[in-house]
Amino acid sequence: MAKKNYIIDTSVFLTDAQCVYKFANNDIFIPLKVLEEIDNHKKRQDSVGFNARQIIKILDCLREKGSLHKGIRIDKGKGVIKTLGADLIDYEAFPRDLAAKHADHMILATAMTVQKQNPRRKTIVVSRDINMRVIADSIGLLAEDYITEQVAEDADKIYSGFASILVDDELIEQFYAGHPVTLLPDLVAKQKVVLHPNQFVMLVSSSNEKKTALCCFSNFNQPVEAVFKPDMAYGVNARNKEQSFAMDLLFDEQIPFVSLIGRAGSGKTLMAIVAGIEQTIGCEDPPYKRILISRPVQPMGKDIGFLPGTMEDKMMPWLRPVQDNLQHIMGDDRGMLKDYFEKGIIEIEALTYIRGRSISNAYMVVDEAQNLTAHEVKTILTRVGEGTKIVLTGDVEQIDNVYTNETSNGLAYAVERFKNSPLAGHVTFQKGERSKIATLASKLL
């Protein structure tokens, strides 16, 4: 296969610091402008800053082999990596329509220079910036997106935590009679269904499709269990089967990690928070001592010190949706809610400062987790101590983080990576319950 020349944009390095090792035996060119832009991000406390610092370290290690200016062999079986300054750019080949001093245009000008100097090789610009790829194509350059580690082909293929299986009518009768029902691997495989621990299953009668039974699957050696329905002290009950599944997982102390995906108004955040309140404030012998609630500040890691007041005051604008849910559950008694905050039973946590902490005996909710990267989710989950349950909620169709997408965000990454673990459970909400207009808007708009 013919070797190619790749010009790597800043956005790629800030997405994946290890990207230099993923271009096989092809040569990589890094415009100096890219290094300058990376340097501008290195002090950030989020995954972007982490990747900026990592790529600087990687390039520094490569310098031990030679000169980046002359070119360095990345590794055995890999291509050469080389930096190019603006003084090497052939501006005569660059369109006059584009301002050469613009950072993106300087990178594209570098790519055109490489293309002109190596006419026998394909020169490809790799960028996460859509507009940059459009401009590159417009001036005759090949351009590609950098495909990060996608855990699924598209959003619809992300593990949903639910499956339907056709069974004999007698098996459903047996389940409702309270007798143990064990699913046979051959039966499941024949229907091309793959079951995972803590997955919810709808048993459908093969003779009457309206005759069904909802249950939870653990493994093929144990009988399926009925969906648990807790007694709710605060009066918030499940309205559909997905919310019932979520309650089952949220009240199971043997499952320390739960993920909930759903569109706006599906009730994922409400279910997560009410389950936490029921298991801390709403029972005599609570399994958790406190509720810890947070959500990413966009961009995550941005200094919240610009806002006045305590950390709770600074985080409150970002946590208004959570506060709305708390008031919906506990009523309009703000004094009682404030009392729980003062006693530390309900805490507001900034994800910015979570690294290094060990959180034990807590019920932790991270809302809008689709805006986290895989690295950030790993950082959060590795903070979980003994006796802590963590719940990630989010909508993979509403992502504000420019460095992730529907299938590579931290929430989807965690769902797919944990689906085979008996310590984790997942539910994808299908139906909106906020209001008729909210449900209609999520479908039509």
H/E stretch holding 392 reads strand 389-394
pLDDT digits (tens, 9 = 90+) for 57-111: 999 999 999 999 999 999 999 999 999 988 877 777 778 788 877 889 999 999 9
CB-based contact 88:113 (threshold 8 Å): yes
Q: What is the pLDDT of residue 299?
A: 44
> What residues are paired with 250 via a beta bridge?
none
The predicted pLDDT at position 310 comes to: 64
Span 6-25, average pLDDT: 93
pLDDT score of 389: 97
pLDDT at 336 (0 to 100): 75
Strand partners, 200: 162, 216
Place 46 in a pLDDT band, splitting at 50, 70 and 90. Answer: confident
Would you say residue 414 has pLDDT above 50? Answer: yes
pLDDT score of 300 = 42
Q: What does the pLDDT average to over 364-384?
A: 91
Banded model confidence at residue 224, pLDDT cuts 50, 70, 90: very high
Instruction: Report d(CA 357, CA 257) in Å as an integer.
Output: 18
309-367: per-residue pLDDT in tens?
666 666 666 666 677 777 777 776 666 777 887 888 888 777 766 777 889 999 999 99
Give the confidence band of 301 by pLDDT, cuts at 50, 70, 90: very low
- Alpha-carbon separation of residue 83 from 71, 114, 156, 283 (angstroms): 7, 11, 40, 63
d(CA 326, CA 331): 8
Strands 212-217 and 225-226: antiparallel
Q: What is the pLDDT of residue 442?
A: 65
pLDDT of 397 higher than 60: yes
Q: Where do the domains of the chain lie, and which CATH numbers do they carry?
A: 4-144 (3.40.50.1010), 232-444 (3.40.50.300)
Distance between CA atoms of residues 332 and 329, nearest Å: 9
Q: Which two tokens stand for residue 393?
A: 């909620």
CB-based contact 397:443 (threshold 8 Å)? no
Least confident of 21-35, 162-176, 422-436: 422-436
Q: In what order do the strands lie in the sheet with 199-205?
A: 162-167, 199-205, 212-217, 225-226
- Supply the pLDDT for residue 337: 74
Angle at which helix 268-278 crosses helix 320-330, to 10 degrees, equals: 50
What is the per-residue pLDDT across 142-196, written as a single tens digit (0 to 9) for each? 999 987 767 777 788 899 999 999 999 999 999 999 999 999 999 999 999 999 9
Give which of 287, 275, 177 is closest to 226, Cα–Cα: 177
Taking residues 33-44, report their average pLDDT.
94
**pLDDT greater than 50 at residue 409:** yes
Tokens representing residue 204 in the block: 């459908």
Per DSSP, 75 falls in state S
Burial class (CB in 10 A: 0-12, 13-18, 19+), 315: buried
% helix / strand / coil in the chain, to the nearest 5?
40, 15, 45
Whether the per-residue pLDDT at 416 is higher than 80: the answer is yes
